[in-house]
């Protein structure tokens, strides 16, 4: 991969991969930092990147592993709201939906969240998801099924199911 | 008219990933940082080449000085002429790693300050050795400290561990130094391949049998209680990434550090154990073993995915062996089919 090819790859995929990693880990700032680091490593290891079948998946997986590794090493708790450049401060309707989706994803088990994001957001096939996460396809399908059910349960408005229900 | 149904999956599929607040670096900056990373391994090249030349002539004076691992030559305590002035350094070949063989038995590091005697080595290697040396406050037979015998700027080194119990091969794998191999005779050939340490540096190797996967062998195994796991060298963390299960990690700096996490269940104990580069099964399978050898060792297994071989084991456990793009083992776990952690087990 030469400089021009890398620059084009980087500029065309940075925002998309950062959004995907944000959905995976729930922290936008951390996602941007890890994706940035992943692209630096991608250029440093451009020989591997050139041989990779799916360079964007290589970057996304590297960024995700960096984020998980850093989180487990430093035990980052949820950052206080006043530290984040929170998109929730913006009150457009689409941002409210995005905030709700992100919050719901964050409540799912990591493996279900990762399967849902890779399949539905990154548009990977079940086979490709299995390859990226290193799990059998049957396991991925089970995680997708359980994840969809869990996401629906979290996001379905209460008055759509029982107008008289109260929050627990 | 019925109201449209809120479909969370459709919302997820149509989620606007956007670019709100993103401030990516310029591509040229990314490439510059990446280039710097590629050459950082050779950052000590000039200093090391000078050290290697001067050490041949004045080993004691040089090793007594303080080294600057980032490039400046080491000033000797007895003030011989500056290496750059009186001893012209050979032109470094940027792509060739520099190997330093310390004279005699090597450099003994008994306190963190001693790490400065590792002239020509990288600062992160010195920090790693200093940290290891701090861990042993007393040794049987009085043999304290770590002895570094050989170092390569490519990211590996060998010597004798704290307390002199075995010979160690330390490697920098994914930007973290760890103990890749430990032996009282020869290195493991598969592990050298996995660690990308050339035979020219490491010397003889053999494929020996190990004890990973054997019950009661003193190594971590599924079903262990927290106390048993800790006694076997595994730390149970408190992270809630996989509730109710939590992740585990090795207490010692193993290789690979970022891919040997396991799982612990409050109901079933240690549920998943991941093999390090220093471990092998009784069937001589470990990290770096070729796929053909794995299949020959475990013909009763089956493919769980393109790059996964699942081997049922006694006691409701299984080996899950993942192959890398080089068709060699890159991750090997021994795991229990525990309901608590089912969502997190491949």
- Domain ranges for chain B, please list them: 99-206, 226-336
> How far is residue A104's CA from residue B205's CA, in Å, rounded to a whole number?
52
> How far is residue B40's CA from residue B58's CA, in Å, rounded to a whole number?
27
> How far is residue B318's CA from residue A35's CA, in Å, rounded to a whole number?
34
Mean pLDDT over the full length of chain B: 77
Tokens for B27, please give them. Answer: 């591509």
Instruction: Render pLDDT for B224-280 as a digit per residue (tens, 0 to 9).
Output: 999 999 989 999 998 766 778 888 999 888 899 878 889 999 888 999 999 999 999
Give the contacts of B91 (CB within 8 A, at least 6 positions apart): none
Residue in chain A closest to B325 (alpha carbons) equals A52
Strand B187-188 to strand B205-206: parallel, antiparallel, or no bridges (unpaired)?
parallel
Given a contact cutoff of 8 angstroms between Cβ atoms, the answer to whether A24 and A64 are in contact is yes
Nearest Cα of chain A lies from the Cα of B258 at a distance, in angstroms, of 7
> How far is residue B47's CA from residue A18's CA, in Å, rounded to a whole number?
39
The answer, yes or no, to whether residue B96 has pLDDT greater than 90, is: no
Given a contact cutoff of 8 angstroms between Cβ atoms, the answer to whether B323 and B295 are in contact is no
Sheet (strand B262-265) strand order: B234-236, B246-250, B262-265, B269-274, B329-336, B317-323, B308-313, B302-305
The beta-carbon neighbor of B8 closest among A51, A143, A152 is A152
Residue in chain A closest to B330 (alpha carbons) equals A134
Residue in chain A closest to B302 (alpha carbons) equals A136
> How far is residue B123's CA from residue B119's CA, in Å, rounded to a whole number?
10
Given a contact cutoff of 8 angstroms between Cβ atoms, the answer to whether B192 and B207 are in contact is no
Residue in chain B closest to A11 (alpha carbons) equals B27
Instruction: Render pLDDT for B53-80 as a digit per residue (tens, 0 to 9).
Output: 444 444 333 333 323 333 333 322 223 3
The beta-carbon neighbor of A109 closest among B16, B322, B343 is B343
Left (φ > 0), alpha (ψ -120 to 50) or beta: where does B233 sit?
Answer: left
The answer, yes or no, to whether residue B306 has pLDDT greater than 90, is: no
Nearest Cα of chain B lies from the Cα of A143 at a distance, in angstroms, of 7
The answer, yes or no, to whether residue A85 has pLDDT greater than 70, is: no
Q: What is the pLDDT of residue B335?
A: 92
Given a contact cutoff of 8 angstroms between Cβ atoms, the answer to whether B120 and B69 are in contact is yes
Tokens for A132, please give them. Answer: 């990226």
Tokens for B169, please give them. Answer: 């091969």
Whether B38 sits inside 8 A of A44 (CB atoms) is: yes
The answer, yes or no, to whether residue B343 has pLDDT greater than 80, is: no
Q: What is the pLDDT of residue A120?
A: 92
Residue in chain A closest to B243 (alpha carbons) equals A109
- Write out the E strands in B154-261: 156-160, 167-173, 176-183, 187-188, 205-206, 234-236, 246-250
3-state secondary structure chain B: CCCCCCCHHHHHHCCCCCCCCCCCCCHHHHHHHHHHHHHHCCCCHHHHHHHHHHHHHCHHHHHCCCCCCCCCCCCCCCCCCCHHHHCCCCCCCCCCCCEEECCCCCEEECCHHHHHHCCCCCHHHHHHHHHHHHHCCCCHHHCCCEEEEEEECCCEEEEECHHHCCEEEEEEECCEEEEEEEECCCEEHHHHHHHCCCHHHHCCEECCCCCECCCCCCCCCCCCCHHHHHHCCEEECCCCCECCEEEEEECCCECCHHHCCEEEECCCEEEEEECCCCCCECCCCCCCCEHHHHHHHCCCCEEEECCEEEEEEHHHEEEEEEECCCCEEEEEEEEECCCCCHHHCC
As for the ipTM of the complex, it is 0.73
Whether B9 sits inside 8 A of A148 (CB atoms) is: yes
Q: Find chain A residues with C-beta within 8 A of B34's C-beta.
A: 39-44, 46
Q: Find chain B residues with C-beta within 8 A of A110's C-beta.
A: 241-242, 344
Whether A121 sits inside 8 A of B22 (CB atoms) is: no
Whether A7 sits inside 8 A of B27 (CB atoms) is: yes
> How far is residue B145's CA from residue B130's CA, in Å, rounded to a whole number?
9
The answer, yes or no, to whether residue A74 has pLDDT greater than 50, is: no
Q: Find chain A residues with C-beta within 8 A of B28's C-beta.
A: 7
Q: What is the pLDDT of residue A10?
A: 94
Tokens for B189, please give them. Answer: 């050939």
Whether A121 sits inside 8 A of B19 (CB atoms) is: no
Nearest Cα of chain A lies from the Cα of B184 at a distance, in angstroms, of 32
Q: What is the pLDDT of residue B289?
A: 96
Residue in chain B closest to A88 (alpha carbons) equals B20
> How far is residue B156's CA from residue B32's CA, in Å, rounded to a whole number?
25
Instruction: Render pLDDT for A58-68 as a digit per residue (tens, 0 to 9).
Output: 888 888 877 77
Closest among B108, B57, B105 to B83, alpha carbons compared: B57
Nearest Cα of chain A lies from the Cα of B342 at a distance, in angstroms, of 9
From A21-35, B88-102, B207-221, the region with the lowest mean pLDDT: B88-102
Whether B24 sits inside 8 A of A36 (CB atoms) is: yes
The answer, yes or no, to whether residue B309 has pLDDT greater than 70, is: yes
Q: Find chain B residues with C-beta within 8 A of A15's C-beta.
A: 17-19, 22, 24
Tokens 């900056």 identify what position?
B29
Nearest Cα of chain A lies from the Cα of B107 at a distance, in angstroms, of 31
Dihedral through CA A122, CA A125, CA A131, CA A132, nearest 10? 10
Q: Find chain B residues with C-beta within 8 A of A119's C-beta.
A: none
Mean pLDDT across B92-108: 78
From B86-100, B239-253, B267-281, B325-339, the region with the lowest mean pLDDT: B86-100
> How far is residue B153's CA from residue B254's CA, in Å, rounded to a whole number?
20
Give the contacts of B79 (CB within 8 A, at least 6 positions apart): none
Whether B34 sits inside 8 A of A43 (CB atoms) is: yes
Q: Which of the residues A60, A104, A136 would you substitute to probe the B interface, choosing the one with the greatest number of B C-beta atoms within 10 Å?
A: A136
Kindly state the percentage of chain B with pLDDT values over 70: 74
How would residue B84 be classed by pLDDT, with cut points 50, 70 and 90?
Answer: very low
Q: Find chain A residues with C-beta within 8 A of B35's C-beta.
A: 43-44
From A122-126, B322-326, B341-345, the region with the lowest mean pLDDT: B341-345
Q: Between A28-44 and A3-25, two packed helices, what is the crossing angle to 10 degrees?
A: 150
> How far is residue B255's CA from residue B230's CA, in Å, rounded to a whole number?
18
Given a contact cutoff of 8 angstroms between Cβ atoms, the answer to whether B181 and B252 are in contact is no
Residue in chain B closest to A44 (alpha carbons) equals B34
Q: What is the pLDDT of residue A132?
A: 81
Q: Between A28-44 and B27-40, two packed helices, what is the crossing angle to 10 degrees?
A: 60
Mean pLDDT across B312-317: 89
Angle at the Cα of B301 from the Cα atoms of B299 and B305, rounded to 5 degrees: 130
């Amino acid at each position: 991969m030469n400089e021009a090819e890398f620059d084009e790859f980087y500029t065309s995929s940075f925002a998309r991969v950062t959004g995907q990693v944000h959905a995976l880990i729930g922290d936008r700032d951390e996602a941007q930092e890890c994706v940035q680091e992943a692209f630096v490593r991608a250029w440093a290891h451009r020989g591997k990147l050139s041989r990779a079948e799916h360079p964007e998946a290589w970057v996304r997986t590297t960024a995700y592993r960096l984020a998980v590794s850093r989180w487990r090493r430093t035990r980052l708790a949820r950052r206080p709201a006043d530290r984040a450049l929170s998109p929730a401060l913006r009150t457009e309707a689409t941002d409210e939906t995005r905030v709700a989706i992100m919050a719901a994803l964050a409540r799912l088990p990591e493996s279900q969240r990762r399967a849902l994001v890779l399949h539905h957001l990154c548009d990977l096939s079940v086979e490709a998801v299995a390859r990226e996460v290193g799990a059998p396809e049957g396991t991925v399908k089970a995680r997708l099924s359980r994840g969809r059910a869990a996401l629906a349960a979290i996001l379905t408005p209460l008055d759509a199911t029982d107008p008289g229900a109260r929050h627990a | 008219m019925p109201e449209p149904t809120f479909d969370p999956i459709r919302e997820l599929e149509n989620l606007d990933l956007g670019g709100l607040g993103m401030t990516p670096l310029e591509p040229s900056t990314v490439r510059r940082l990446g280039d710097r990373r590629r050459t950082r391994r050779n950052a000590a090249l000039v200093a090391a080449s000078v050290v290697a030349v001067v050490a041949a002539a004045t080993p004691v004076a040089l090793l007594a000085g303080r080294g600057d691992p980032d490039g400046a030559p080491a000033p000797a305590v007895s003030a011989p002429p500056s290496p750059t002035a009186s001893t012209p350094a050979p032109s470094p070949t940027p792509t060739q790693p520099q190997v330093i063989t310390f004279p005699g038995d090597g450099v003994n590091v008994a306190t963190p300050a001693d790490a400065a005697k590792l002239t020509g080595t990288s600062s992160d290697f010195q920090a790693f050795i200093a940290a290891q040396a701090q861990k042993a406050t007393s040794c049987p037979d009085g043999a304290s400290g770590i002895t570094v015998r050989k170092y390569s700027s490519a990211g590996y080194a060998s010597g004798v561990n704290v307390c002199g119990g075995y010979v160690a091969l330390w490697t920098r794998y994914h930007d973290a130094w760890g103990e890749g191999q430990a032996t009282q005779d020869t290195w493991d050939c598969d592990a050298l391949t996995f660690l990308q340490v050339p035979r020219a540096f490491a010397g003889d190797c053999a494929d020996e049998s190990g004890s990973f996967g054997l019950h009661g062998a003193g190594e971590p195994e599924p079903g262990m209680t927290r106390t048993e796991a800790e006694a076997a060298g595994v730390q149970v963390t408190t992270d809630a990434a996989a509730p109710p299960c939590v992740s585990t990690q090795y207490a010692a700096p193993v290789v690979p550090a970022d891919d040997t996490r396991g799982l612990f269940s409050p109901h079933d104990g240690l549920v998943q154990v991941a093999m390090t580069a220093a471990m092998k099964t009784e069937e001589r399978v470990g990290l770096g073993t070729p796929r053909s050898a794995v299949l020959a060792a475990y013909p009763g297994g089956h493919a769980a995915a393109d790059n996964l071989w699942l081997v049922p084991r006694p006691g409701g456990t299984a080996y899950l062996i993942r192959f890398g793009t080089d068709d060699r083992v890159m991750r090997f776990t021994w795991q229990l089919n525990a309901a608590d952690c089912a969502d997190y087990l491949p």
